[in-house]
Structure 1
Amino acid sequence: MLVLLLNGLYAVGQLLGVGFRVMPVAALLGLAAWALYTLAFVAVFRAMDLLDQHPPAGYVLAFAWGGLAAPHLAMPANHAIQSLAAKFVSPEFAAVWGPALAGPITEEFVKLAGVMLLILTARNQFRTELSVLIVGAMTGLGFQVVENLNYTLRSAMNFPSESQVLPVLGDLLTRGLLSGLWTHAAFTAVASYGLALFLFRRDRTRAQRVGMAVLCFALAWAMHFVWNSPWMEDWFSDDLAGLALLLLAKGLPVLLAVALIWRAATLETGAYLHATAASLVPERDLLRDDEWLRLGSPLARWRVRRDVGRAYGRRARRLKARLQRHQLRLVLKAGMFGRGPRTARHERAIRRLRARLDAIFPDVDCLCR
């Protein structure tokens, strides 16, 4: 894994080196734009308490695999498949359909391979379906960001005018805002859900679990195929509005499928957290009844933080957020290791934060119920 990551890092470094030599402004703006784009995704994941499923190193490795190793492995395979399409059908066919034929096969496989490697490396860290999905989403996000940076630099080099800003803004609009919610992060999350079903649906036979994993991979492949294909391009005009409508027509079904999968994974994760907390964290000063009920709902916990912030200000919201995160980490670690030294830090933090909230905002818990 380390060798593949280093090879990918070298390839990305070469790309950036060429970009800074030829188009320094575009390279700098593109790097900054896609870095901020990544941070926006991470902020959303953090706000929904999704990043508490694993240590930070797990997400760094997932993002690095998606952004460094996966493109390095997929690129030669993509070229080979498109060359075969040109040879056995025609160059025109390969130019139009090559991305749809090559990308879904190679890219979905190598991204999912990274998720599988991380699961094999730290199997004990993966206790819920959501823990697999968020790693898949981070892997896909890494691929998405590096691919977008690559396209940004190439479009800047081939831009018809001398502007180094317009191609960056154009790619950020089309590849970021209009495409960001339903491309690689979504595809890999769908494929990773198959792995989650294989790992955790022990009530099913092995053949059924393998079938569910294959079905999810096939769904991710089909989404990617349709996204890369020229289908529906004739339905819309060639201007920016037509492009936006085309991307929405292709992307909204993907977003709907991902939302349904995330909903199912959240329900499974909630059931696991409730059962774990009931058996291993019975103390009501650590986890009150209303907090126990919201363990399985990231959106419900976010609403509580929002209401606390509106009523008592940012300080109270930050304290409530820290309290919730320590509670979630306590339950997750108790499920992995049992109660002991690994959970004691979170127990102390919960009691300390609870005391601070009660002292500064005595009726804050009434608001949360």
Structure 2
Amino acid sequence: MTPDSSSASAVPVSELASMALAPVDADAQHGADSFYQPRRAAFWLLAVLIFNGLIYMAPLFFNGLRVVPVTALLGLLVWALYTWAFLWVFRTFELLEQRPPAAFALAFAWGGLAAAHLAVLPNIAIQSLAAKLVSPEFAAAWGPALAGPITEELLKLVGVVLLILVARNQFRTELSILVVGAVVGLGFQVVENFSYTVRAAINFPLEDQVTPVLLNLVTRGLLSGLWSHAAYTTIASYGVAYAVVRTARPAAERVGIAVLFFALAWAMHFVWNSPWLEDSFTDSNLGLALLLVVKGAPVLVAAGVLWRSAMREQGSYLHAMASYFVPERDLLRDDEWMRLGSPLERMRVRREMGRQFGPQARRLKHRLQRDQLRLVLLAATYGRGAQTRRHEAAIRRTRARLDALTAQAKLS
């Protein structure tokens, strides 16, 4: 569907400049690649290495199930809920709308299986080399800082690049790459935490299979989770996103930015794994917590700044796509168009709707916003047609119910 020239006048003039940052993709209506691409080498490399990682990780789980069954099952449940909490946050900010479920499943599997497995031997080799070239004491203190950032950040980022190569035209914005990178890091983080939990229980000095789960949840999940692998891979993926999306920039600049952000992720991971600042804090629980916060806060701030930048770029893209593909004001009103690229603004409107008209109105508003976002993203990928009619009908139904509910509330 191509709107007539009159539809452009429905776009607020103040936003026309931002639309210029994300011009309409001429290939947008040609559809998007699926993540099942048996004719592409990247697909098979991705699949084989994920399967190889599964073969490697399965014995750990079954050995834990045999030796410490309570820990293995409880740990699996706890870290599954931990994953769900992260995904719930992603869904709240409507980040999961950026890609089909297959993309996130492959991203999580790459991080948790392929990257986690491939990093084991290089990590051991680097630490062994440090022990031989310097001393065993040096390797014990600095080995994790030397090995982990090099192998783990590189391998996680390889998965992001492979996913882009498998389905190149699925990744049109920085945010679409950033969210996949975060899920790759989350997969690595969760599987690593689960493996540490099982090993801790096997070596635990007491006949207690619950305490190791709780200790690892607190230290590795709650105190370290916000500035762990998901954040590192987010930072490294931003460089890849810049290189892939900003095609108008010089190639040297794009490659330089990609290298710069990988180096930043490496440096932050290095500092986290290093013994720096440990002597500045006491050995108490409070001292440990403060140390983790001081080391981790810069990572969280850096990741937050990049998420904000990517969301701003995504907003410009959505505004341009909505103006071109969805000119009907009954599907997307001007005020809704203004908020399309801002998850926080959409959340604010939902809360206000709930305060004024009750929880049902809030839920209906959320459903309306989600269908509008899906409509714009689908239309940008495939064009308007049979694939978008379900969302068009859902928007009209939900709007009618919401308007009726608010009108009745105003009269009462």
Q: When the two structures are superposed, what TM-score results if normalisation uses the length of structure 2?
A: 0.86
1:311 paired with 2:356, answer yes
Q: Does 1:220 align with 2:269?
A: no
**Could you tell me which residue of structure 2 aligns to residue 356 of structure 1?**
401
Question: In the alignment, is residue 261 of structure 1 matched against residue 271 of structure 2?
Answer: no
State the AA in 2 paired with 1:162: E
Contact 1:30 1:153 in 2 (8 A): yes
Q: Which residue, out of 178, 188, 209, partners 1:143?
A: 188
CA distance in 2, matches of 1:293, 1:354: 17
Q: After superposition, give the CA deviation of every residue in 1:16-69 in whole Å (9 maximum; x if it has no partner).
A: 111111111111111111111000001011011110001111111111111111
Aligned counterparts of 1:135 and 1:249: Cα–Cα separation in 2:
27
Tell me the alpha carbon deviations over residues 251-309 of structure 1, each in whole angstroms, 9 at most, x when there is no partner: 00111111111111111111111111112111111111111111111111112222223
Letter in 1 for 2:357: Y
1:349 to partner: Cα distance: 1.4
Counterpart among 84, 93, 118 of residue 163 in structure 2: 118
Closer, same or farther in 2 for the Cα pair 1:17/1:200, shift >3 Å?
same
Q: How far apart are residue 78 of structure 1 and its match?
A: 0.8
How far is 1:150 from its partner? 0.7
Q: Which amino acid aligns with 1:119?
A: I
For residues 291-346 of structure 1, the C-alpha deviation after alignment (integer angstroms, 9 at most, x for no partner) is 11111111111122222233333332222222111111111122222222222221
Pair 1:295 & 2:330 matched: no
> Hey, what's the Cα distance between the residues in 2 that align with 1:152 and 1:313?
43
| 2:384 is the alignment partner of 1:344 | no
The aligned counterpart of 1:210 is: 255
Q: Which moved more, 1:6-15 or 1:92-101?
A: 6-15
Report runs of 4+ in structure 1 exceeding 6 Å deviation. Answer: none
Distance 1:202 1:362 in 2: 48
Residues 364 and 170 of structure 1, relative CA distance in 2, 3 Å threshold: farther
Partners of 1:231 and 1:254 in 2: how far apart?
15
2:206 aligns with 161
Q: Where does 1:62-77 land on structure 2 (aligned, <5 Å)?
A: 62-77=107-122
Q: 1:5, 1:65 within 8 Å by CA — same for their partners in 2?
A: yes
Work out which of the residue numbers 291, 315, 318 in structure 2 matches 1:270.
315
Give the drift of 1:155. 1.2
Q: Which residue identity is paired with 1:138?
A: V
Q: Which has the higher contact order (CA 8 A, sep 6+)?
A: 2
Moved more, 178-187 or 55-64: 55-64
Aligned-pair CA distance for 1:364:
8.6
What is the rounded CA distance, in whole Å, between the counterparts of 2:178 and 2:357 in structure 1?
34
Letter in 2 for 1:253: P
Q: Which residue identity is paired with 1:359?
A: A
* Contact preservation (8 Å) 1:308, 1:364: no
The TM-score with structure 1 as length reference comes to 0.96
Correspondence for 2:36: none
Tell me the secondary structure at the aligned position of residue 328 of structure 2. coil
Unaligned residue ranges in structure 1 (runs of 5+): none
Match for 1:152 among 192, 197, 205? 197
Query: Percent identity over the alignment?
Result: 67
C-alpha distance in 2, partners of 1:59/1:161? 39
1:220 partner letter: A
